[in-house]
Structures are given as C-alpha cells and as structure tokens.
Amino acid sequence: MRSIGMDVHRSFAQVAVLDRGKVTEEFRVELDYDAVVAFGQKLRKDDEVILEATGNTSAIVRLLTPFVAKVVIANPLQVMAIAHARVKTDKVDARILAQLHAAGFLPEVWAADDDTLNLRRLVSERAALVRSVRRVKSRVQAVLHANLVPKYSGHLFGKGGRDWLSTAPLPRAERDLLARHLDELDWLKGKLEKLDGAMARIALDDTRTRKLMTIAGINSVVATAVIAAIGDISRFPTPDRLASYFGLTPRVRQSGDRGAIHGRISKQGNAIAKTMLIEAAWSAASVPGPLRAFFLRIKDRKGLNVAAVATARKIANLIWELLTKEAPYRWARPAFVAMKMRKLELRAGAAKAHGPAGPARDYWIKEIRHREMELVAQAEAAYAAMVEAWRDRPPKPQKG
C-alpha cells in the first residue's frame, strides 16, 4: 500500500508518493476535472490518498474515490500543530501528509456524503442571504438617520413601516437611494423565501429534523442547520464531543500538579450551527419548561450571556440523546409541535387545507394550549425545587 500526500491549492496540487517509507515520486497535478480523473486512473486500487480539508476538497475526494482504497481528509490545524517545520514548501507539506498517515499520526476529518454537502451549501447560502438582508436594512436606517428622520415606532420593514417610508421627508436624491435599497431588500427576501421552501421540503423528508423540532426553541431552520453540521451522529461517541464540535465547551489548561483551569468557550467548530443553537437557547428561555429553569439558574450565577451559551450546550446534549436513542423528547408540547409541522408544510409548498381540521388545530384551542403550558411549567418548577435541594445540602466535611 502506498500513501499519497496531496498539498492542495486553488489551481494545482503538489503530490508526494510514499512507498515502503521512501518518497518515490513527486509531481504536480492540475486541478481541473480531466487532469484529476487522469491522475486517479494512474493510481493503484490499494493506494490511500491524503489531503487537507479546504474549499475544493470534496470535489477531489469525489473524483478520486473510485480509483483508490481510501481518500483521507486531514484536519489542517492539527496537522500544522503536529508537524510544524521551519522549512515550509509544497513538497515538504505533501511529504508530511503522506508520512503522518503512514505512521498512523494523521488527525482525520469526517468526509461528508453528497446529501450532507448539499444541505450544508443550502445552510451557508441562507446565512449569507440573511447577512445581506441585515446589511441592506442597516443602509435604510443610515439614510433616515443622515436626514434627521425620526425613528418609526413600529416594524419599519412591515406593511405599515413601508407605507411610512413612502411618505418620509427626504430630498429627491435620498428618496431614490432609499427606493433602490428597498428594491434590493425585496429581491433578497424573494430569494430567501425560495431557499426556505427548498430547505423545508428537505426537512419534511428527514425524520431527524422533525424529531429536533420537538425541542423548545428549535424551528426548522435551526434543526436543518444542526443536522447539516452533524451529518452522521455516530461519529460523536458522547454528548460532550458533539458540544465540543459546536465550539460550546470551555478551553482547559492543565499542567503538572496544578488543577485544570477552565476558560471561555473555544468558539471553534461550525459557526453557523453554534449561532443557531444560541438563538434557540434564547427562544427556549422565553417559554416555560426545564430549559428555561436551567437558563434562569445559570443567569443568577453568571449572567445572561453565559446562561445562553450554557443552555445552547444543554440543547446540544439533548440533540445527541434524541438522535442516538429512539426515545422522544419528554417535554414536547404536542399541539405546539403539530403547529410547527403544519407551518413547515406550508413553507414547503403544501396547499392550504379546507374541510376537517388537522392536528395543528389543537394549538389554537385556548384550553389545550394552556394545559400544555401548565405541564411544562410544572417540570420547570420541579427542576427549580431540585436545585434548591442542592443548595440546602450542607457542605461535605473536609478530610484530615
């Protein structure tokens, strides 16, 4: 078996072939479709190709996989930490990848399947669209501020706000600029609506997404982003590994006889999924339930922001439990979940039903809605009582 290291760039890859501990060949491969396929056809069936995770890695993996035994994706940050060298060239990097893999020291990255990659592209595209919408809204606000227009009391970009903007006292040039910003905003919102529809159709066919939507604070967008980031849940053996992947665990420093020092969260991992989970934590903290009880307990000790991050980590642990085990979420509100599912169906393009009411109807019945709220409120109260019992327990006696 040969280990073939590839140092990948935008237009070419430097290749090093390691056979029985020696580098036997070094050459470049142009990174276009025909050249990569031709390179793959020259490889042996028992070869293993190693390359670092980068923007065009998935395409190279897809083209080379049929020709070799395995294509390994390396974590570039960990490779740099393990194999730091004073002399850094493309040839040296390709050799190091091959040598680390042959020695069994290569930190590997999970290779996502095509469905997961497609979902990740949709999630990334949506995040970029949301950022663009936010920027355009900020420009509209800047136009109003520059012309001393008083702040609108309602939702500026709703129907009432748009009517108010059409009558705002602005010079002609500024009004034309405002009109261009609003046209761009409408165009972006149209794209966002189409993208949300495509993501909703995928979510409806995914049992994992529907299961995550039973957790308070998680809607279809959050669930889809989390599923896209996770891919195969079996690659995370414990809930803490999943929380660490999202960058929600603290940094730890420990050396010698001194105890471990826990710092701020690492902020590594999938940034979009981490942001979504923190937004879900804020949402869960606004409704009765065990998650709000946990949020309030941390808030009393550490403040709002730390409580939101801690609750996001708690949600990540719940996600691991739900995806790993068959048991449903115990504190789900059936009528509320049915309403969320119906909204998901409508966003996916389902026709509005006329005739007998469906399961989502229960949410709009006041008695049923309040009964569900009372049940989760009891769970919140039980959690708070348990925490008080912890606090009332006397401290353990010191040994010696």
The pLDDT of residue 318 is 95
Give pTM, 2 decimals. Answer: 0.86
Query: Could you tell me how many residues make up the chain?
Result: 400
User: 227 with 144: CB under 8 angstroms?
Assistant: no
**Over the stretch 231-283, which tens digit does the pLDDT of each residue have?**
999 999 999 999 999 999 887 776 777 766 666 777 677 889 999 999 999 99
> Mutual orientation of helices 290-302 and 366-392 as an angle, nearest 10°?
40
Q: What CA–CA distance (Å, rounded) separates 224 from 273?
A: 9
Record: fold of 2-109: Nucleotidyltransferase; domain 5 (3.30.420)
Mean pLDDT value across the chain: 90
- Which range has the worst mean pLDDT, 55-69, 141-155, 180-194, 360-374? 360-374
Q: Which residues contact 347 (CB under 8 A, 6 or more apart)?
A: 196, 197, 200, 220
Task: For residues 75 and 360, give the distance between their C-alpha atoms in angstroms, rounded to a whole number.
Answer: 45
Report which DSSP code applies to 105. -
Cα 154 from Cα 142, distance rounded (Å): 17
Kind plus residue range of the DSSP H or E element containing 325: none
28-37, 116-125, 181-190, 358-367: which range is least confident on average? Answer: 358-367
pLDDT on residue 261: 65
Residue 400 has pLDDT above 60, yes or no: no
